[in-house]
Structure 1
């Protein structure tokens, strides 16, 4: 014989029971008690339940309703899916106070009062139900004996109808009062076409319409123009019609035209023949939560932006400032060795001063870059001729040592991020010199991209003007099949010293400016980088 006993408590304080042979006080109770899992399969029962049913179910196999037929007190048979236990399992809620009649296997009829209680596991998930069946047949017999004292059966039935009608009316009134008084949720009743037929105080508070103003209007009135154009209200109604329920979160409109972030649930309502007679719609205003989430996302984006800045600061410190610092060191040594030669000493001091000014300028650009919090604040008018001349000055020692020839035409003035454009040209010039075992010849020239040429780059905005800058050298080059890999972080195609970060940073800088960069190369014949940048517009990007 199986017995049930308390095993654990759910987050809602409801005891969960499981079978445990020979133990537990439940076995000793004279009242029939049994438990089911979430699918309605009997998992435990006591002796009183077995005696009430007149047979012993198979644990883990028998469905709760498989033992007996069930009738309403009026004598109509109740299908299993509409019984109190089925409702408790389906809707995951307690069912009490609903009288039913059981027809046992021997044909005997008994009146019982079921009390179905929901059970949850330790994580708060619905686990099943526990049902207690109280046999009230003796009480019903006493009531019948009293009823026979009335003049006729018709009088008894008439009184029962009146009592039931009054009870239903009172229940309906209580329900409507409860719904009407809810303030935190907008609760609406819709007809099958979505017309509003009922409206509670919460709906008036959240949406701003009085009941008189809104009844008879379609619930599409709460949706923004583009949602109505995309048929979102109709889509939600159809989903509720087809599946029984529709859920959605999005911006909704109040009477005064302001928007709020609403979480809605639309549920189909059915009549006794399972025909859809309308829908209930429950809306909750979650604007504060939505704004808080957006604030958190904005903070996260700002942190990401700051982290990228830190990466670039480190690169500037380790790369862009190296050449001016190297010049200061070299000319300081030359000054020390020619301290008695006034002319030479003056020239060396001039070089040191120029390098120091260049470092100061770069450091100021970095500080300005660190103080700005939005990407659009970083953009300014940049004369690329001035930028490139300053970079050539940084590299004049190296270009002299390696006999570098630099040819370039007139470069445009564009809107960009000064410190990043400095990095872009500095990295490209450094690479062109470093990856050349002979005497480097570097050519830089620019021309405006025609609208027809712009169309060849789908990612570019066809309404903007662009400049195309070619950066060509006669260096070592590489196999073109590796053209995409050169822009990947830490990817290096040679054994020359370096981190592999420079060209990856070049690609990122060009993307920050809503531009494009690609490379064409041939082993032993050199490399050409092509950079396309907007001329006038400030790119709409978030770094």
Structure 2
């Protein structure tokens, strides 16, 4: 090749080529039936002939479009290929010609064409690469003929469709369906097709999602557990896989999806990909959860009614005991007017307390909805009421109760009284000499609640701790403390329902209770009420 000023002349083509890689004799290539185009060293299209524009079905912009003028590119299996991964791009990056790499291009009108590219780099006289030239040969007719010949060689003349062929027919059939997300996946789970229903349900536009793996629809924990891969594997083995669970939209919101993944085969039983159909069942899930909640609520109320004989007995014992004690004192000091007046007042107070308890029990048993029992409740008043109930035993054992200021929360007063009474009674029962019970309070966000990692992240909680200096127990038995009729200390009196009732009361208030203890160092019961 000889040099003429800023051009190089090919002795074979008798055609001048500028040192920047452009052809001066463009008329020759304009009229050639073969699709030809050139790119500069950065991949920007610098020239194309009419045959290339006809093949692409569009006219690219000189100096703006890169690598290739095709609307979309696929490999021969139907998998989308980015323009910067096409053979022309590989030629410029690797500074060599690319051979025998068939591609499928899609025109804007949807027509797909098999092509065989022939990209080759261009260099100037100094060996610097200035760009590349590519010729695209339409081999669609050859590929169709090959498929026909392959099909005719079989006795039943089956059709060996490629995934790309299947996908094109599939796309036309399902594109308009909007109630189902219908996808076509290749063998590795990468998305090849996207219908309007998928865009509606999952939120991605087609150009945003094609070529990505369907793992993006799954929660992080499902991805970590390799649920998508397991579903693909199951579909490959059994022909179909189904799953129901939470999925993630583009905007991060979740929906409850029912998924069916079906293996796609050609007529020779080769796996060519998968179809994936997803239905949004969020509303059904919500309805089922609501029904389940109602059923659990009814079951919970039935159990509570069954246990209420124990609760009533437990609460009424202390007022009755006080009435008997005060009546005995009254009988022994019948002549002492001051003592008589004091003990009659105490008997009346205890009787009033019993009357209030009975009224609350009747009111509770007549209501089917716990929500109707909730009202603003001052826990300081609840604590003072419990202290009044326990004033005799506190005096007998020298019990000291220290408490910080407690909150007002929305709760069931009778049950909150029962909660405080059971926790204080439990602390007194398992105390040594000079029992000290410390009640502390703080408002806390759930991410700081080490005692309960399962609390919902969106909530803030009232945390109330009851700490005693009693005999304590081994921490490994903490869960057993809240089981019905279970006692950690067999030698103690009681039915073993007190702490079980505490847990039930906390659950009624959508909260949580836990305990931490060491033998000889007392115990701390901590309750959490959602704010």
Normalised by the size of structure 2, how large is the TM-score?
0.48
So what's the TM-score if we normalise by structure 1?
Answer: 0.47
